Structure 1
């Protein structure tokens, strides 16, 4: 048995980058929702920030669900 170390390294790198991207998108959505709350308390309208925040969190959720679809053979 031989291990293809280059492929293993590629998978590890892609996994780390995807994890950082998903966490970044969720964090951006959380920051947008927090800024919307602060603006709302200040009396300004914050509808666009709320939509951006929930869209970012929803997008990250869809990416996670797609990853689960790829991992679970029952769905293929």
Structure 2
């Protein structure tokens, strides 16, 4: 039995990179929601609709990444 160590290393790097990317995007979504809450609480600004749209986009990207991961893992989706 032989292991392809370079392929294992590539999988490790890609999985760590994807994890960090999803966490960063989710964090940006939470930050946008926090900014929206701050702008609506102080009464300054337009009500935070841009921040809400940005947060929604960030969460949509995170959900897409999770669904794509499930698509890759579940073999019934490939038929």
| Secondary structure of residue in 2 paired with 1:3 | coil
Q: Distance in 1 between matches of 2:57 and 2:33?
A: 10
Paired position in structure 1 for 2:74: 72
TM-score by length of 2: 0.93
Question: What is the 5 A alignment of 1:42-53?
Answer: 42-43=42-43, 44-45=45-46, 46-53=48-55
Paired position in structure 1 for 2:33: 33
Structure 2 unmatched ranges of 5 or more = none
Q: CA deviation at 1:19?
A: 0.1
| Secondary structure of residue in 1 paired with 2:67 | helix
TM-score by length of 1: 0.96
Give the RMSD, CA atoms, in angstroms.
0.7
Structure 1 unmatched ranges of 5 or more = none
Q: Distance in 2 between matches of 1:23 and 1:55?
A: 14
| Secondary structure of residue in 1 paired with 2:2 | coil
Q: CA deviation at 1:58?
A: 1.1
Q: CA deviation at 1:38?
A: 0.5
Query: Cα deviations across residues 5-27 of structure 1 (Å, max 9, x unaligned)?
Result: 01000100000000000000000
